[in-house]
Each structure stands twice: as C-alpha cells, then as structure tokens.
Amino acid sequence: MPFSIGANSAGPAEIPATSTKVRQRTQLRDHYGAFHSRGLMEQSATCIVPLLEMVFWHEVRRRDLWSSVVTERVVIIGSGPAGWSAAIYAARASLEPLVFEGAISEENRIRGTLPLGQLALTTEVENYAGFPAANLTQFLETALPKERRQYMAPHSGHGVTGPELMELMRAQSVNFGTRIITADIVSADLSKRPFVLKTSDDTVVEAHSLIIATGARANYLGLPSEDRFKNHGVSACAVCDGALPRFRNKPLVVVGGGDSAMEEATYLSKFASKVHLVHRRDEFRASKIMAARVLDNPKIQVEWSSAVTEVLGDDQHGVTGVRLKSLKDDSERTLEAAGMFCAIGHTPNTDFLAGQIETDDKGYVVYKTPFRTETSVEGVFAAGDVADSYYRQAITSAGTGCMSALDAERWLASRGIH
C-alpha cells in the first residue's frame, strides 16, 4: 500500500503536515514525478519526502536554528552524488552535518540547479554500480558455480532512475543524522572564523568547515523546444545517456565545436547509425588530434556554419529531429534525429563564493594538493563536478564526496573540534 501524508495525518504536534517546507518537497516530487521504489520497500517512495521533511523540521525547531546562530562543525552545500556521499560519511563520523540542498524556485529550475543535482534530470542510470537493470537471478545462475550461488539470497535485479538514486542517497544520509535545509546559500564570508553563510531566506549559519558540492550546470542553447524535451531526447552527457535504447542505431545530433563536442560525437558514433555534428563556424575550436578523429570517422557528418533553431518531436516519441539554419544564407532544413546532445560547455556553480577560493579560468575550484579535496582556503573542501571539468560522472562525484568528508573530519580533529 502506498503511504502518504495528508492534511489530517497525525504527526508531531508542533509541525503541521501542510507546513511550507513539506509543500516545497511535494512540489519537488511533483516536478520530477513520483519516485517508485521498484520493490525496495512495500510503500511508494513518495512517502519518503514529506516524512523526512517532518523529521528534519522537528530537529531544527529543537535546536532553535532559526532564532540563534549555531556554529556547525561541517556544512555541505549541494545535493547531488557528491553532497549526499559527503553527508553520509560525515554523519557516520558523528559530525551531524547540515546540508543545504538548494531552494525549490523557478530560477533554479531554469538554471538547472534544483535540489538533487543533475541526476534528477535524467531517466535510467545504467552506469552507477549496484543497480543492474537485467534479471540478476538469471545472471547469477549463468555466471557463478552452484556452490557459490547457494550463499547468495535470490533476488531480481532492478535499475534505478536519477531521481530515485538521489532520494535514496538523501534518505541514507538522514538515517545517519544528516540535517537538511531546502534553501540556497547566496553568500559566504570565508575571511572569518568560523565561516559565515547566508541563505536565500536570510538565515545566517556559522560553520567550522565547509564542503562545496554545488556541481556544474550544463550549458544549453536556450530554446523553448529544447527545454520541453530535456530528459526526452535532449541531453548534455553522451557517456551518461548515449547507450540508452532510445538512441541506439538511430541518427543523433551533437552541438558544439570544441574538444568536448569531438569526444561526445566520437563516443556516440559507437551506438548511433549516424551523428550530425552541428557547428556555428567553418572550422573547429578543438585540438587538431580531436578534430581529426571526427573528420576521419565515416559515421560523423559535420554540419558547418549551422545552428539549431528548434528541436522537433512529440510527447509520445520525444525528440524526432531538429531544424537547422545556415548562418551563411539563412536557409533552413530539418534533420531526422532521435536525440540532441549539447556539448557547449558547463558552468560551475561557484558564483556565491565571490572569488574567495582559487578557481581555474573556467570557474572550477582548484584543489590545493593533488588527490586531496582541500581548497585554497583552509577548512573549505570541494567535491564533485564543481571541481571536475573532465570526468563529470555520478560515481566519481560520489567518490570525491567521500574524500571531502574524510578530509574535513581529519581537519576538524587536528584542531580539537569533534
């Protein structure tokens, strides 16, 4: 039986089920759709969101967080794989982390920075370890000898969607004591000790240490039709989505002219029947070796001096093609395609730092020491895509999230903060 909280549901007396934050979490669920558990639990996973929000606000009121400034040992900004992994490790270390998962706002929706990170904008996640989409029982029967199988509980495999994976990570972090605020951090003063953070609802929080896991948002073309088909054929990550059945053996479009576009087009050529690489200029900005790979690939056709003006499709099939405009003579034509991949860069979400931390020329946080997550400001750590312009994968983000929590724990301990 699905379980839900209604207006008349019983709960902590001081926290009505219709509170603003519960409604916000319900809005988030409605924006992404219901997250079904696929057998992970008997009830629908939609019950997790309001339940966890009630638990959190009970804890917030108990500590009177809003009426006085509380110095947190560790604050985590961001709610993608890096942020939740950091929260899980920090919570298990009894640091009681406070996570700012982001505000549910129209501005964040347009920017692609709603809570739960970029994975909340994807469908099936096939490359995160532990969630096989095939029948796992059948696999075990063919891959393992009988004497080994008998020690493993029989169960069927199940895939996982991006929103499901993020909600599961969120729930796991809460189970260990993580507290969550659904608001943005709009400014941070890193010149003071402890650090002073201000939220989008004018709350002030102090923190001894800070983990930045705000990620990087993909750059899109800004077309209304493009926004309509995000998650239905429009993507910004070939490695994440290129092997999905909807794209296999079908023509695809890649937009861009730099090294990232060359990589995306080359990767997609392994699955697509044909790849149209659309570029605004008559020569690539990419390195010569990357450009040569594309030009020598018989499955890639370059559409020079052209721009996508509209993404075509319908609600049933998703993307079915794109409309191209020649930038030389203004003529238009259509290309049949099952998907469009934007490879025109990413923008790290570091605006709120206001230049207080060292970044590269693209705005990505720079680590002070290789294979460590500490930044140029002592006590501030970074994890995930906000410091990674190369891999940009959920599993690598989760790994650096773990590292950042361990680094923060050791840094706090070295200063006698437990």
Instruction: Tell me the catalytic residues.
Output: 237, 240-241
DSSP for 194-256 reads SEEEEETTS-EEEEEEEEE---EEEP----HHHHHTBTTTEES-HHHHTTSTTTTTSEEEEE-
What is the identity of the amino acid at 49? Answer: V
Does residue 311 sit in helix, strand or coil? strand
Rounded Cα distance, 166 and 172, in Å: 10
Cβ atoms of 256 and 344 closer than 8 Å = yes
Cβ atoms of 357 and 350 closer than 8 Å = yes
Helix extents (H) in 48-175: 48-63, 81-92, 106-111, 136-143, 146-149, 162-175
The rounded Cα 261 to chain-centroid distance in angstroms is 20
Rounded Cα distance, 227 and 222, in Å: 7
Rounded Cα distance, 168 and 163, in Å: 9
Cβ atoms of 240 and 122 closer than 8 Å = yes
Rounded Cα distance, 183 and 206, in Å: 15
The rounded Cα 226 to chain-centroid distance in angstroms is 19
Nearest CA among 335, 344, 275, 279 for reference residue 305: 279
Residue carrying structure tokens 């900005």: 285
Q: What is the CA radius of gyration of the chain?
A: 23
Which two tokens mark 14? 């001081």
Cβ atoms of 265 and 277 closer than 8 Å = yes
Cβ atoms of 377 and 357 closer than 8 Å = yes
Cβ atoms of 53 and 21 closer than 8 Å = yes
Rounded Cα distance, 165 and 187, in Å: 29
